[in-house]
Amino acid sequence: MATTYSLHTIHNATEFGFSPADYSRFKFGDEAVAEKFGASLAEGFIQHQLRGNPIRQQLVVVSSPYAFIPTATFAMKNHFVFRLNKWLAGNGYPVVQETKVHRTITYKDDYGELDAEQRINLIGNDHFHIDSAFLLGKTVLFLDDIKITGSHERMIMKMVQAHNLANDIFMLYFAELANKAIHPNIENHLNYYSVKSIVDLNDIIQNDRFFINTRIVKYILNYPFQAFCVFLQNQSAAFVNLLYNMALGNGYHTIDAYTQNLTFIQHYLEEQATCNRDGKHL
């Protein structure tokens, strides 16, 4: 059995209990917002679940599943752990351990615009894996940013059953859609609240608190080619290299929809390398 804790519960399609503009920036890599969200989730979890309840087992924190590129939740997880560790250490408990849920499939579909059935059909063929031996005798905290239909949670619990995990489990969310009369695509309303076009990414990427994640990589690679080219040429060489390396690491070079933009990045980096070599030679 798993215990669910959500810091915010959404009952109204226009009132969320948190800033939708902040949430959107968080989803596209603003680590300053991830810090705020992670610390507040830790505070809520401490107050409502840990304070007054003796901790008898080692706590293990697990971020949302990913292959190579972390999700936005990973940045939030870091700051959740930082705040939780301060409380644990201050009260004489062992600090948390971490592990990862591995996933096998990546897809280009925008999950946030799908309904419940489409979501489970999309991820139903994915396979999640976790090191069950490492978790033996520990309490596991599965962390995610938002719960909309519960399809990801069902996949996590399917993994739990497949691995015969007998652990005490918490499912922790920054927010949860509690009003099921609201269409699940409310998630896309939140995701894109501050990002209406690729130009809106500049302020996030060029900030010193930028943390790359799957959403921003997929968004850039799937953007219309001409606007993508203009955008890319206004970015730093370090960012373009990071973008390309992350895309390859997640196998995005095997997805046809990303081929044109990825090929442009490859040629762009090769030309930059040639110019740098020629400049040094001169």
Predicted pLDDT of residue 119: 56
For residues 7 and 136, membership in a common domain is answered with yes
Pseudo-torsion of CA 142, 187, 252, 225, nearest 10°? -160
Query: Which residues on adjacent β-strands are paired with residue 10?
Result: 177
Residue 208 lies in a domain: no
Q: Does 237 have pLDDT greater than 70?
A: yes
Residue 16 lies in a domain: yes
Q: Per-residue confidence at 281, pLDDT binned at 50, 70, 90?
A: very low
Predicted pLDDT of residue 52: 87
Between CA 247 and CA 231 the distance in angstroms is 17
> Once rounded to an integer, what is the mean pLDDT over residues 61-69?
95
Using a 10 angstrom Cβ sphere, with 0-12 exposed, 13-18 middle and 19 or more buried, the burial of residue 171 is: buried
**Residue of 123, 124, 140 lying closest to 132 (CA atoms):** 140
For residues 17 and 85, membership in a common domain is answered with yes
Range in 129-133, 141-145, 171-175, 278-282 the model is least confident about: 278-282
How high does pLDDT run on average in the chain?
92
Q: Does 133 have pLDDT greater than 80?
A: yes
Between CA 74 and CA 86 the distance in angstroms is 19
> Once rounded to an integer, what is the mean pLDDT over residues 12-37?
97
> Once rounded to an integer, what is the mean pLDDT over residues 28-34?
98
For residues 184 and 70, membership in a common domain is answered with yes
Residue 254 lies in a domain: yes
Q: In terms of DSSP bridges, do strands 139-147 and 169-177 run parallel, antiparallel, or are they unpaired?
A: parallel
Q: In this structure, what are the phi and psi dihedrals at residue 125, rounded to the nearest 5 degrees?
A: -90, 0
Predicted pLDDT of residue 97: 98
For residues 101 and 169, membership in a common domain is answered with yes
Number of domains making up the chain: 2
Q: Per-residue confidence at 274, pLDDT binned at 50, 70, 90?
A: confident
For residues 185 and 256, membership in a common domain is answered with no
Q: Does 124 have pLDDT greater than 60?
A: no
pTM greater than 0.85 (yes/no)? yes
For residues 191 and 228, membership in a common domain is answered with no
Q: Per-residue confidence at 1, pLDDT binned at 50, 70, 90?
A: confident
- For residue 262, give its domain range: 222-282
Q: Indicate the residue type of 120.
A: I
pLDDT digits (tens, 9 = 90+) for 140-194: 999 999 999 998 899 899 999 999 999 999 999 999 999 999 999 999 999 999 9
For residues 247 and 163, membership in a common domain is answered with no
| Percentage of the chain exceeding pLDDT 70 | 91
Q: In terms of DSSP bridges, do strands 102-103 and 128-129 run parallel, antiparallel, or are they unpaired?
A: antiparallel
**Residue of 91, 87, 73 lying closest to 37 (CA atoms):** 73
Between CA 98 and CA 141 the distance in angstroms is 9
For residues 277 and 191, membership in a common domain is answered with no
> Once rounded to an integer, what is the mean pLDDT over residues 63-88?
97
Predicted pLDDT of residue 282: 37
Looking up residue 7, the CATH number of its domain turns out to be 3.40.50
Residue 42 lies in a domain: yes
Query: Which residues on adjacent β-strands are paired with residue 147?
Result: 176
Residue 211 lies in a domain: no
**Residue of 40, 2, 6, 263 lying closest to 147 (CA atoms):** 6
For residues 91 and 152, membership in a common domain is answered with yes
